[in-house]
A and B are shown apart, each in its own frame.
Chain A
Amino acid sequence: MVEQMWRVVAVFRVVTLAYAAFLIIRDHGRYVHPAAGFAALAVMFAWTVVTVIAYARPGGRRNWLIAADVAVAAGLVLSTRLITSASQISAGAPTIPASWAAAAVLACAVAGGPGAGLAGAVVIVAADLAERQAVPQSTFSNCVLVLIAGGVGGYVVQLGLRAEAATDRAARSEASAAERERIARDIHDSVLQVLALVSSRGRELGGEAAELARLAGEQESTLRTLVSGASAPPPGDGLLDLASLLEPLGGDARVTVSAPAGAVLLADAPARALAAAAGEALDNVRRHAGPDARAWLLVEDEGAHVIVSVRDNGRGFSDGRLAQAEAAGRLGVAQSIRGRLRDAGGHARLTSSPGQGTEVELRVPRT
């Protein structure tokens, strides 16, 4: 994109040089100093060669060269004063470089965006106005055109650059997703299979093998989460799939996550609030429900509401012992969960009875 723009600048410069040459050859008879007119043409020709060659490579697009470009163009505009008569200038005759001067403005715009383009244009327009005593309509229009070219040209280049960067990012993320998928497949084909088998069979053997099985099982689920997680692309529109957000919580062998087959889409904030609250509820299970407690997490999409239930089969507690639960730090967590849900416009409900485990129901409305 940028390379194309630089080529456009080069083509513009050559074409406008031809136009300027045509004007000088046609009008030199009326010049006060015809020789100076041809000298100016020679300078323009030399400068065109220098810039076309220099700008062709990214390394040649130095700021000082672009500044010099504007200076040369402005100088040539001012030289009109020395070459032609004041009356001709005031009558609206073109300057010596004519539209060739705009090539420097375009170079500024391509190199530095709308700001630089405008700055270059202001310099050229100032030089043009400085050498005239009166400003006829045609000159005024030309000045406005140069300013617009500087600003708009720079803006277009900036847009192009952004689009290019976005395409580039997308291509890179696609490549990394593909690579991740390939690695996930490899790991799935080898390591995970072995770990799953060790964990599954080891438990049958008991004793030390059971301990090894437990370790293998933990590693398996960690690795599985690692290779499967974050591989799904976000659905866009600022929505998150709550089910894939919660799935990693099932990495712990004592936790089962159940959800509908399709995505459960929620806005970013409530989805994250639900996931964080569910995570806290599970932490709570690990801390208080006893070492053998298992937990089940259910995601339900009721259209108007999304519900996440976290149930455990641990010790549980009676309503009358809420004070005791508070002392045990349990209510603090419950309150933190409630706070998260309130912020998301929903609410949390906690039910428990001794020996029956505890259930936390987290409910968030879809807005």
Chain B
Amino acid sequence: MCPEPDAPLRVLVVDDHPIWRHGVAAGLEEAGSAVAGTAGDGAAALRVAAATRPGVVLLDLNLPDMSGAEVTRRLLAADPAVRVLILSASGERQDVLDAMTAGATGYLVKSAHFSELLAAVRSTAAGEAVFTPGLAGLVLGEYRRLASGSTRHRGGPGTPGRDASGRELPAASPPEKGRPAGEGPVTPRLTERETEVLRLVAKGMTYPEIAALLVLSPRTVQNHVQNTLIKLQLHNKAQLVRYAMEQGIA
């Protein structure tokens, strides 16, 4: 999958804890990756990324100046080719989900083995989603939340459906027929197969195990899993645009 296995990965390590930052950077270099740079906050991450064009950004969610979702959004806006791998301590589920729907490709807990971290960096560089069970649980939960039509507890995107002039959108205009009012134009849904696969990932099964159980190819399993995330990211983007239009920003 890796297009050029011999080309060293260029990784930007973003974490506000110097000990962790340097430890991880040293480990990555030992493993043969080129560390494009390190940064201790979001603003520095954006500056260093602009200057060094890394392939993968290893992003801690606890930055002093901006949220992980914000950093992810801005990194991708500056360079759509960059891949963002989220690292977080446990107990930051909403922050992780926000960063993932903002466009990050993978999520790993900080307590993961270093070998898992290396593997995750490599597959992120190759454009594969790093779908840990924790992430599968978050994505499943997000689809259920969207399906139930409950609003987010955070502001911004997700505000109820009104058009630019503030009129209520008709509930059954053609493209959103049957969709609950209050969500974006198209509320993403999981297919039965996707739900099945995501639940198995969340329960710790590997792609080959799932493939064997459901009589699919591992490749198909991976496609299903990645689709679920891409649909959420597109939905998030559409809502952001919509929100910006409502606010008269765009």
Q: Is A284's CB within 8 Å of the partner chain B?
A: no
Considering the chains assembled together, what is the distance between the CA atoms of A296 and B206 in angstroms?
12
| A-chain residues with CB within 8 Å of residue B93 when the two chains form the complex | 243, 259-262
Q: Is A359's CB within 8 Å of the partner chain B?
A: yes
Q: Are A188 and B89 in contact (CB under 8 A)?
A: yes
Across the two chains, which residue of chain B brings its CB closest to A217? B111
Q: Are B140 and A300 in contact (CB under 8 A)?
A: yes
Q: How large is the interface on B (under 10, 10 to 19, 20 to 34, 35 or more residues)?
A: 35 or more
| B-chain residues with CB within 8 Å of residue A262 when the two chains form the complex | 93-94, 141, 145, 153
Q: Is A303's CB within 8 Å of the partner chain B?
A: yes
Of residues 185 through 223 on chain B, the ones whose CB sits less than 8 Å from some CB of chain A are: 199, 202-205
Q: Are A201 and B27 in contact (CB under 8 A)?
A: yes
Q: Is B157's CB within 8 Å of the partner chain A?
A: no
Q: Are B90 and A250 in contact (CB under 8 A)?
A: yes
With A196-B111, A201-B23, A201-B27 known as contacts, the answer to whether A298 contacts B142 (CB < 8 A) is no
| B-chain residues with CB within 8 Å of residue A196 when the two chains form the complex | 20, 110-111
Q: Which one, A200, A228, A309, A311, contacts B117 given CB within 8 A?
A: A200
Q: Are B203 and A296 in contact (CB under 8 A)?
A: yes
Main SS of chain B's interface residues? helix
Q: Are B133 and A258 in contact (CB under 8 A)?
A: yes
Across the two chains, which residue of chain A brings its CB closest to B150? A262
Across the two chains, which residue of chain A brings its CB closest to B138? A261
| B-chain residues with CB within 8 Å of residue A247 when the two chains form the complex | 90-91
| A-chain residues with CB within 8 Å of residue B20 when the two chains form the complex | 193, 196-197
Q: Is B182's CB within 8 Å of the partner chain A?
A: no
Q: Are A298 and B110 in contact (CB under 8 A)?
A: no
With A228-B91, A247-B90, A261-B142 known as contacts, the answer to whether A303 contacts B148 (CB < 8 A) is yes
| A-chain residues with CB within 8 Å of residue B19 when the two chains form the complex | 190, 193-194, 197
Considering the chains assembled together, what is the distance between the CA atoms of A200 and B24 in angstroms?
9
| A-chain residues with CB within 8 Å of residue B137 when the two chains form the complex | 258-260, 298-300
| B-chain residues with CB within 8 Å of residue A257 when the two chains form the complex | 90, 134
Shortest Cβ distance from residue A236 to the other chain B in the assembled complex, whole angstroms: 15
Q: Is B136's CB within 8 Å of the partner chain A?
A: yes
Q: Is A352's CB within 8 Å of the partner chain B?
A: no
| A-chain residues with CB within 8 Å of residue B17 when the two chains form the complex | 189, 193
With A260-B137, A301-B144 given, name 4 new contacts (CB 8 A).
Answer: A197-B19, A200-B23, A257-B90, A262-B94
Could you list 12 A-B pairs, sorted by A, with CB under 8 Å? Answer: A193-B17, A197-B23, A256-B133, A258-B134, A258-B138, A261-B93, A261-B97, A294-B204, A298-B202, A300-B137, A311-B205, A313-B204
By Cβ-Cβ distance, the 6 closest A-B pairs, closest first, are A260-B141, A258-B137, A296-B204, A261-B97, A197-B23, A311-B203
